């Protein structure tokens, strides 16, 4: 997987410093730990300087605590996403030094300083007040990955002057995340106003024919504005993560 490492092993085999069997085993071993219920992977974090991330939803507090305990050994920051309040409390009973970010539905274990890595600010925009939870999840990931974040909440298209009021901030951003439910039109409008990548996050805000975010999702995928890409419904994490990657394109970021 890692060409340099393979070369090193092969050199060792050639030199006789690494026996063949050990080399074979080494080739299969990569920086992860199998703790039974999960294969804890230090790989990506080492590679990217991003926090380790655990999807909390669908896991028990015991499972989360076990995984976090393993991950903290990597000395990086650890982020647990989609954690309902009761689950957060249960995890913190086991790992008390995690911080609960209620609005973002997340737990954070801060072990390391975060260096600024992005080119410019990432703007995180919502159509309404109810989209703020998703937006804060995106903001948290982006900040933990070393980005300046600018928030613009409740600037949906039904009162479009609210958006224009923030046009300067929008145009200063390197990357923009737009979280919107209902018809999700804000992503298209923003996409038409700027020249940077726009990441659209449909939210499950709305009722009836919104179908839990499907209307916004389809609208964002069908957008008439070029330069807009889309993540899953309510996937603030994915939007923030992708925004952080986009904001580092062209920058040295350690060995891949």
Site for a copy of itself in 204-223 (CB under 8 A): 204-211, 213-223
Closest CB 230 distance from a copy of itself, rounded Å: 5
User: In which residue are the tokens 């074979």 written?
Assistant: 24
Identify whether the C-beta of residue 186 lies closer than 8 Å to the C-beta of residue 155. yes
Assess 125 for contact with a copy of itself (CB under 8 A): no
Nearest Cα residue to 221 out of 173, 187, 176: 187
- Kindly state the number of chain residues that form the binding site for a copy of itself, as judged by CB under 8 A: 117
Of 236, 231, 233, the C-alpha closest to 211 is 233
- C-beta closer to a copy of itself: residue 97 or 159: 159
- 234 binds a copy of itself per the rule CB under 8 A: yes
First to last CA, the chain: 11
When binding is defined by CB under 8 A, the residue of 68, 109, 157, 178 that contacts a copy of itself is: 157
Q: Which stretch binds a copy of itself (CB under 8 A): 56-64, 69-77, 86-94, 108-116?
A: 56-64
- Which of 52, 74, 174, 179 touches a copy of itself (CB under 8 A)? 174
Q: Which residues of 186-220 are buried (b: 16+ CB within 10 A; e: fewer)?
A: bbbbbbeebebbbbbbbbbbbeeebebbebbbebb
Binding segment toward a copy of itself, per CB under 8 A, in 70-78, 83-91, 108-116, 244-252: 244-252
Binding of a copy of itself by 69 (CB under 8 A): no
Question: Measured from the CB atom, is 82 or 98 closer to a copy of itself?
Answer: 82
User: Do the beta carbons of residue 192 and residue 164 sit within 8 Å?
Assistant: no
């Amino acid at each position: 997987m890692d060409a340099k490492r393979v070369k090193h092993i092969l050199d060792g085999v050639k030199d006789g410093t690494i026996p063949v069997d050990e080399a074979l085993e080494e080739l299969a071993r990569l920086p992860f730990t199998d703790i039974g219920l999960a294969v804890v992977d230090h790989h990506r974090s080492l590679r990217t300087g991003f926090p380790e991330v655990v999807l909390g939803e669908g896991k028990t507090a015991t499972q989360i605590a076990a995984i976090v305990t393993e991950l903290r050994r990597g000395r990086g920051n650890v982020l647990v996403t989609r954690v309902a309040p009761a689950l957060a409390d249960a995890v913190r009973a086991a790992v008390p030094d995690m911080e609960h970010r209620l609005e973002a539905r997340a737990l954070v274990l801060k072990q390391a300083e975060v260096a600024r890595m992005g080119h410019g600010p990432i703007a995180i925009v919502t159509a309404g007040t109810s989209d703020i939870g998703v937006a804060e999840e995106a903001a948290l990931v982006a900040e933990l990955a070393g980005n300046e974040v600018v928030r613009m909440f409740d600037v949906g298209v039904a009162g479009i002057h609210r958006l224009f009021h923030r046009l300067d901030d929008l145009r200063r951003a390197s990357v923009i995340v737009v979280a919107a439910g209902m018809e999700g039109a804000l992503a298209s409008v923003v996409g038409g106003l700027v020249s940077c990548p726009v990441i659209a996050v449909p939210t499950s805000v709305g009722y009836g024919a919104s179908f839990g975010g499907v209307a916004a999702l389809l609208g964002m995928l069908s957008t008439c504005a070029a330069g807009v890409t889309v993540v899953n419904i309510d996937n603030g994490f994915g939007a923030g993560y992708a925004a952080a990657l986009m904001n580092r394109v062209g920058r040295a970021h350690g060995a891949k």
